[in-house]
Amino acid sequence: MKTFLFCSLVLVLATGCVGAGRSAGGAAALPASCGGGAATDGSSLASAPAADALVTFDSAWTIIRRTHWDTTSNGVTWQAVRDALRPRAAAARTRGELRLVLADMVSRLRQSHFSIIPQEVSDATMGRGDGAARQGASGSLGFDTRLVGSAMLVTSIDTGGPAWQAGVRTGWEVESVRGCPSAARLALLPESLEPRRRALFAWQGTTMALGGQAGDTITVGFRDAHATARPLTLTYGAERGTITKFGNLPPLAAALDWHRVQRDGRTIGVIRFNIWMPVLAAQFDAAVDSLRGADAIVLDVRGNPGGVGGMSMGFAGHFLDSAVAIGEMVQRGGTMRFMANPRRVDTRLRAVTPFRGPLALVVDPLSASTTEIFAGGLQGLGRASVFGTQSAGQALPSVPERLPNGDILYHAIANFIGANGKPVEGDGVTPNQLVSPDRRALLDGRDPALDAAITWVTRQAPRRPVP
């Protein structure tokens, strides 16, 4: 049985590698001083003979035709796509040129979870090849960003990380990275982009620009709370969490943390985790066990791009007392129901019941795939309320397959229908209470979306009697 991935992070990695998007179309590109001088489409790689290019193109096209759950290919005439693009594949003289043709092909489906992962990325992460990914451990600056209005703002920060120690605070604007203005990167985004996709690509570009290895340094230009320019040289620290490897995906840092908040005489547990990978399952179990005595729980899954879809059933079982479906995976050959697995024992094998207190989730446009299946399922069943901003709407079960030229075709093989009877792909999860990021609140050290979730669960939790 295949393990299905619901991870739109693969799309972020792949589009960054094959040069998809506006620059791939030949419209706008970053100047060389901003890292735009090097080809991002792999055009500097070895030549790709026409025969090999056609074999790879035909293989990718056939795999999608054979495995796509919708025999109409989402309303696209798939044979016409082949007829239009095959001559371009035959004319490709480099692997980069071929990748652009393949990227064009999968983009015509207008669905998430279709992408091309270059062989050098896959090989480097599998211990083959001599890619940059093997040169050292991935580093962290200890902060994350989001597009708020027209600016990239620091929206969360690790109080033990390099950025915090250098004085950076939430609400600061990231104006430049390595001397390249953020505005130059944002200008590459087409005006027609849907807001959630714009937020995703803006984050992607900024995150890639900020990437580096532990021990290296980078110059980042910030603008602080007083609109003062603050150029800082930061040294990458170790990435927080556990480095984990899954299939053909690059190594990922999986992290989970939890804490308690006291609010109006009640104890609220807050759990945050950044990806759905098996290494976090036991940590999530332990966190819930530690919070069984709390009055309510909030799950912060903002920025969580998904991962192993089946984990959603086990996690849901911590909060559902019966084996109900949180959604259905619809394939060409049948339907698989995602059933919650109620937890009857804790991590020490003691008998317990699933947590019954109020439950809230916090999401944003970078919450995708398994995250949306989980959040939408609990919301659709009436078990949880959701806060924040609308999720990504990218939730298709998918698998990776290696093509004849060595690249990976990451492709969806099913649709997912939420507990409310509607597809998760497209609309995603709409919060019960929309709470958008606000710079003033960030500068004041507040988190409006998380605060709203905590306020709601506090009001739902009965006040404990005074002894």
278 exposure class (CB count in 10 Å sphere: 0-12, 13-18, 19+): middle
| Coil vs helix vs strand at 74 | coil
* Residue in the block written with tokens 């990021």: 437
pLDDT at 40 over 90: no
- The residue type found at 201 is F
| pLDDT bracket for residue 12 (50, 70, 90) | very low
CB under 8 A, 24+ apart: contacts of 451-456:
452/387, 453/298, 453/300, 453/360, 453/361, 453/362, 453/385, 453/387, 453/388, 454/261, 454/263, 454/268, 454/270, 454/298, 454/360, 455/263, 456/358, 456/360, 456/385, 456/387
Residues 6+ apart with CB under 8 A from 22: 28, 188, 189, 190
User: Comparing 72 with 456, which gets the higher pLDDT?
Assistant: 456
Distance of alpha carbon 61 from alpha carbon 105, whole angstroms: 8
In the chain, the domains with their CATH numbers are 5-134 (no CATH), 139-238 (2.30.42.10), 242-395+414-460 (3.90.226.10)
Which helix (H) or strand (E) covers residue 260, if one does? strand 256-263
Question: What count of Cα atoms within 13 Å lies in the side-chain half-sphere of residue 91?
Answer: 7
Contact assessment for residue 358 and residue 455, using Cβ atoms and an 8 Å cutoff: no
User: What is the residue-averaged pLDDT of the chain?
Assistant: 86
**Do residues 261 and 454 make contact, with C-beta atoms less than 8 angstroms apart?**
yes
Average of per-residue pLDDT across 95-107: 92
DSSP secondary structure letter of residue 128: -
pLDDT digits (tens, 9 = 90+) for 287-338: 999 999 999 999 999 999 999 989 999 999 999 999 999 999 998 888 999 9
pLDDT digits (tens, 9 = 90+) for 247-287: 656 678 899 999 999 999 999 999 999 999 999 999 999 99
- Taking the mean position of all CA atoms in its chain, how far away is CA 127? 24
Please tell me whether residue 55 adopts helix, strand or coil conformation: helix
3-state DSSP call for residue 419? Answer: coil
Burial of 109 (0-12, 13-18, 19+ CB in 10 A): buried
Instruction: Please name the residue that has the structure tokens 């005595």.
Output: 293
Q: In which residue are the tokens 């998430």 written?
A: 112
Averaged over 195-214, what is the pLDDT?
A: 91
Q: Sorting pLDDT into bands at 50, 70 and 90, what band is 460?
A: very high
Question: 122 pLDDT band (50/70/90 cuts)?
Answer: low
Structure tokens belonging to residue 302:
């903002």
> Contact at 8 Å (CB) between 28 and 21?
no
Please, which pLDDT band fits residue 173 given cuts at 50, 70 and 90?
very high
3-state secondary structure of 180: strand
Question: Tokens 């580096």 identify what position?
Answer: 212
Residue 244's pLDDT is: 87
**Mean pLDDT for the stretch of residues 171-193:** 91
DSSP label of 376: H
Q: Which two tokens stand for residue 368?
A: 């995708």
The amino acid that residue 103 corresponds to is A
Other C-beta atoms lying within 10 Å of the C-beta of residue 316: 29
Distance between CA atoms of 447 and 161, rounded to whole angstroms? Answer: 19
Sign for the pseudo-dihedral over CA of 44, 50, 55, 58: positive
Instruction: Give the span between the Cα atoms of 119 and 128, in whole angstroms.
Output: 10
Contact (Cβ atoms closer than 8 angstroms) between residue 162 and residue 191:
no
Three-state DSSP at 207 gives helix
Q: Long-range contacts of range 179-182, CB-CB < 8 Å, 24 or more positions apart?
A: 179/33, 179/34, 179/219, 179/221, 180/30, 180/33, 180/34, 180/35, 180/209, 181/34, 182/151, 182/152, 182/206
Higher pLDDT, 251 or 130: 251
Whole-angstrom distance, CA of residue 409 vs CA of residue 64: 9
What is the 3-state composition of the chain as percent helix, strand, coil, each rounded to the nearest 5?
30, 25, 45
Give helix 78-91 / helix 50-67 axis angle, nearest 10°.
Answer: 160
